[in-house]
Structure 1
């Protein structure tokens, strides 16, 4: 195998596939990146057997030559060293040559590295995705949907299913739900499905985080195919595979209140900053709890007390308060996460009592929905 390639294309592809490479794998060859060269271009693959990423660099794009292939072939190179080497090479082009004993020479300018390679035949094959559950979604919308939900997945392995985001497709609508049983984040969007039908899958939060880092903020479509135990995200030059989580996701629809006793409209930024200040004194052991109390004339008091440190009180003027008076405590972190995920200048919070879950929505957008369980304080 021998080819010459534009360094910036190689660096970007290596960075993308590195997101799937784990140093803690039980399969030694998976600590490497597989390179395959054909007359069409170079394909790089990284995998940890849960997530696999394949990046393709074509020989030319928009009339510019990117890769000059002199000899086709394949090799697996140690990911950690290979990624550091290509990042630090001196010139804009890189020559990679594999000799008969798998020794790989990497040249750029006057720099030359020799790396011991591994036989690409021993690298596990990527899953073959044959699924009839397929749809497409713009990359920027997909990134947003991930950002607005993935933070609410559980970080505890006691209920593995909650470490993923539940994707439900029904009637050309995609609904993404994440919950750690103390809070819930939901985002819906209209999509075009290939052959209708309804289905559901739970995608690990970790996989979605890595996918989000790779996707560009463009309106280019990402093709998504869901099978029984895998999901594939496909862009122009990238394939991103992830295994799905086994098990049934809990029915979250019954958690969502159908009525409210108190409704409050607040300016998002002012409320977020106020919660942020109150959380400065919220005791860590007390789960970062702040108190929220309605006052006369549309005023809301936000306060926090830490016996060892002190206390903080702040009053902010709401846009409107309808319904009963209210005193409630909740996690400042959960509230701040939810507010940051809402892209709206004003929010509506609906409460059904001091110990019942309450939900937060943007005033002008029903597609994003957050639910938080209050904290009992005495």
Structure 2
């Protein structure tokens, strides 16, 4: 095999592909990128760690077609050091591979392309298109409550629901619920109105967000039997979906509240970021003490104390209902408020032992942000 690539095109393809290859695996093939060069001048570059994968189509000068696997990390490192211009990848006898540009040349070993695992079928019966930036923004406003490794497998992902033109994303780590809803202009690829749901695994979300970015171009999203497939420009990204049914999150969200208060979100966020210096060992990410919130008359009094020191602050509020004192994990509050794009916020409660709901008083049109946080017991 001998192929000449444009350096920038090759780097743009290999960088995201490296994110979907396995690291330190006993199967060498899934640590690599499969390069399949066809006589037509089309090259298919694929990475697959058996859970998520990607295929990028590039135009190149194919002098000798072939199919081989090159270690993803090494290939990425080599490309980054090469000068601008053209890069040639040439595989010879016994899979000895030369990668060269100008006077610079590397040699390493490739694997036969047939050793690469078969990719799943990259099509689906049902699908839709949405602006990439819209989908990414919804992920960023809801994925922070996805747990890393919860015993309940269905929680280890971001749940997506589509009803017509309405998209909803929900996550929960059992201490909180993040819910984002938006009415979008969707391109429907089927004959019937879209009405479906799926859960994207947590491990997939960072790579997916990086791939989609903030562009206004359309990403095609199709549902396969076990996978969800995202197609944009020359790239196809796919991931297994979690096959366990997501929790009935709506039953945890109260239908009414005894206490409602309005507060300046930016002012509250500033106070919480200061309090975090006391409640948490930020370097280790360890919580040392809860945040004590006393909603009284027209003030929110925030206090906390730990081995680090003490913190006190007062913030003006508009309150309807009884006074209440309640404890929270400070970081959970910060993440919820940041996701609301803090303007004026509405905080709704029923008792010190029940969850608090954080919402924007005036959300953007056709958008809904709701964040539910369970309280922390306070010592008297």
Superposition TM-score, scaled by structure 1 size: 0.92
> Is it true that 1:138 corresponds to 2:135 in the alignment?
no
Instruction: Quote how far apart the aligned CAs of 1:46 are.
Output: 1.0
Distance in 2 between residues matched to 1:314 and 1:370, nearest whole Å: 23
SS at structure 2 position matched to 1:281: helix
User: Shift of the alpha carbon at 1:26?
Assistant: 4.2
- Whole-angstrom distance in 2 between the partners of 1:231 and 1:41: 25
Separation in 2, partners of 1:135, 1:19: 25
Q: Please say if residues 359 and 372 of structure 1, whose CA atoms lie closer than 8 Å, have aligned partners that are also in contact.
A: yes
After superposition, residues 33-182 of structure 1 pair within 5 angstroms as 33-38=33-38, 39-57=40-58, 59=59, 67-182=60-175
Q: Deviations 1:46-76 (Å, cap 9, x if unpaired)?
A: 111000111222x3xxxxxxx3232322210
Decide whether the 8 Å contact of 1:344 with 1:364 is kept in 2: no
Deviation at 1:286, TM superposition (A): 5.5
The alpha carbon displacement at 1:134 in A equals 0.7
Alignment of 1:1-378 (within 5 A): 1-38=1-38, 39-57=40-58, 59=59, 67-191=60-184, 192=186, 193=188, 194=190, 195-282=192-279, 288-296=289-297, 298-306=298-306, 308-318=307-317, 320-365=318-363, 366-378=367-379
**Unmatched 5+ stretches in structure 1:** 60-66
* C-alpha distance in structure 2 between counterparts of 1:321 and 1:255, whole Å: 23
Distance in 1 of aligned mates of 2:236 and 2:41: 17
Deviation track 1:5-39 (CA, whole Å, cap 9, x = no partner) reads 22111112111101101214343210111111232
Instruction: Give RMSD over aligned pairs.
Output: 1.8
Q: For residues 25 and 193 of structure 2, what CA distance do their matches in structure 1 show?
A: 38
- Aligned residues of 2:95 and 2:111 also touching (Cα < 8 A): yes
Q: CA deviation at 1:128?
A: 0.3
Residues 57, 235 of structure 2: 8 Å contact kept: yes
User: Stretches of 4+ moved more than 6 A in 1?
Assistant: none
Question: Is the Cα contact below 8 Å between 1:288 and 1:333 reproduced in 2?
Answer: no
Structure 2 gap segments, 5+ residues each: none
CA contact (8 A) 1:74 1:120 kept: yes
Query: How many residue pairs end up in the alignment?
Result: 367
Distance in 2 (alpha carbons) for counterparts of 1:368 and 1:348 = 11
Partners of 1:88 and 1:32 in 2: CA distance = 19
Q: Is the 8 A contact 1:43 1:54 kept in 2?
A: yes
